[in-house]
Amino acid sequence: MIIKPADRLQTVKEYYFSKKLKEIARMRAEGKPVLNLGIGSPDRPPSEEVIQTLQQEAEKDHAHGYKGYTGLPELRKGFSEWYERYYDVNLDAEKEILPLIGSKEGILYISMAFLNPGDGVLIPDPGYPTYQAVSQLMQADILTYDLDEQNNWAPDFRKLEQMDLTNVKLMWVNYPNMPTGATASEDLFDKLVEFGRKHHILICNDNPYSFILNDNPRSILEADGAKEVAIELNSLSKSHNMAGWRVGMLGGKEEYIQTVQKVNSNVHSGMFYAVQQAAVKALQIEDEWYRELNSMYQKRRAIVREIFDLLNCTYSKDATGLFVWAKIPESADDAETLSESILHEANVFITPGFIFGENGKRYLRISLCSNENDLQEAKSRIRQTIN
C-alpha cells in the first residue's frame, strides 16, 4: 500500500536545480565532462580565521549540547554590529535579530508565521522560485508582479496600485536582486515602505547578495518607518563563502521577530555552538576580505561576459551580485532551448531564465562560482560549438 501525500504537494514541483543536478550527474557518469555554470554555491572557503575559530570552539567540552532557540548572545550582537557598520541600521541584539539555520529556511518560517490559506502574497517575476513554492505550500493566493529591464527591474507601483490588494498580507522583494543583479535605490526602499504602510502589507526584503560586486550595501530597514512594515533576511552564505554552514538571520521589529520565533522554536533546537562562534568571527572580518573576494569575482565576471558576447546576448554592466543575467538574441527561440543546446552540444550548463518566472523566458544566467580555468574552458567549448 502506498500512502497518499498531502494535497499541498500537488502544487509544488521538485526544485529545478535538484532535477538538473541529477541529469548532469548522469551525463558525467556517461563520460561527458559537463561544466556546471548554474548554481551560486561559492567555491572558495571562508577566511582562515573563521575556520580556525570553528576548530577551536568545536574542541570545547560544552560546545556539543543544545544552545537555545534564539542564537548565542554573541552572534546576535555580531549581526547587530554588522548591520550598524555596513548598513547604518540599528537593530537591538536582544529583541530585533533572530539567527536562522540559513535564510532559505527563513522564507518558510515567515510564511508559516504570517499566512493563512487564502491570504495574498506578492511575488516578483522574475524572482527566486522558493517564494512561490513556499507560498503554494501555505495554500496562499499568489499574485505575481512584473519586474522589467526597462524599469531597472524595480516594481511598477502604478501597476501594483491597480491590482486587487484586498487580501494581500506579504510582499517578497529581493535587492540586490537575484537573478537580475539590479540594486535598490534609497527611493525604491522608501516607496516600498510607503506601499506596505498604505496597504497594511508586510514587506520582506531577502538580502544575501549586498556584498558581492557592490560598493554600496543597502538594507530596506534604512528607510524611515521601515520597521513598522518591513523585515529583512540576510545570510553569510555568499558574503563570507559559508553557504554550507547555514547561517542566516532575520531582522526587524520585536513583534515580528517574536511571531517568527514561534515557528522557529518548534522546528529546530538551535545552531551548533562552534558554527555560531565562527559566524561571529566572520562578521568581524576586515574590509580587505570583501575587496579580495570581489577582485576574484570581477575577473570571473569578465570571462562570463565574454561567453555571453559569443552567444550575442546583452547584459547590464551596472548589475551586482553573484550572477550575470543576459538577454538572448532575437534569433534564438527561447532561453530554455538555447540552454539545452549548449548543455548537450558543448557540455556546459547555463541556467535558463524561465525558472524565475514568465519574464525570464528570454534570459540566461551564469554563476560566478566557477574558477577562471573552468570559465575559460566553457568559453572555448561554446566558441567551438557555434563556429
> Does the bond joining 126 to the residue before it have cis omega, within 30 degrees of 0?
yes
Tell me what pLDDT residue 10 has.
Answer: 75
Tell me which of 243, 265, 283 is where a domain ends.
Answer: 283
Tell me what pLDDT residue 83 has.
Answer: 98
Residues 110 and 146 grouped into a single domain: yes
- CATH number of domain containing 345: 3.90.1150.10
Tell me what pLDDT residue 40 has.
Answer: 83
pLDDT tens for the 387 residues of the chain, in order = 488 888 877 776 667 777 888 988 999 999 999 999 988 889 999 999 999 999 999 999 999 988 888 999 999 999 999 999 999 999 999 999 999 998 889 999 999 999 999 999 999 999 999 999 999 999 999 999 999 999 999 999 999 999 999 999 999 999 999 999 999 999 999 999 999 999 999 999 999 999 999 989 999 999 999 999 999 999 999 999 999 999 999 999 999 999 999 999 988 888 999 999 999 999 999 999 999 999 999 999 999 999 999 999 999 999 999 999 999 999 998 999 999 999 999 999 999 999 999 999 999 999 999 999 999 999 999 999 887
**Three-state SS at 357:** coil
Please state the domain count of the chain.
Answer: 2
**Three-state SS at 33:** coil
Tell me what pLDDT residue 117 has.
Answer: 95
State pTM to two decimals: 0.93
- Residue 377 domain-assigned? yes
What is the distance between the alpha carbons of residues 226 and 204, in angstroms, rounded to a whole number?
Answer: 10
Tell me what pLDDT residue 51 has.
Answer: 97
Tell me which of 283, 316, 347 is where a domain ends.
Answer: 283
CB-CB contact of 98 with 260 (8 Å): yes
Tell me what pLDDT residue 12 has.
Answer: 67
* Nearest one of 263, 258, 192 to 230, comparing CA atoms: 192
Tell me what pLDDT residue 68 has.
Answer: 83
Residues 113 and 178 grouped into a single domain: yes
What is the distance between the alpha carbons of residues 327 and 311, in angstroms, rounded to a whole number?
Answer: 10
Tell me which of 236, 263, 283 is where a domain ends.
Answer: 283
Per the structure, the complete domain to which residue 303 belongs is given by: 7-45+288-386
Residues 256 and 328 grouped into a single domain: no
Residue type, 76: R
Tell me what pLDDT residue 270 has.
Answer: 86
Residues 257 and 119 grouped into a single domain: yes
What is the distance between the alpha carbons of residues 362 and 284, in angstroms, rounded to a whole number?
Answer: 41
**How many helices, marked H, and strands, marked E, lie in the chain?**
13, 13
Tell me what pLDDT residue 348 has.
Answer: 94
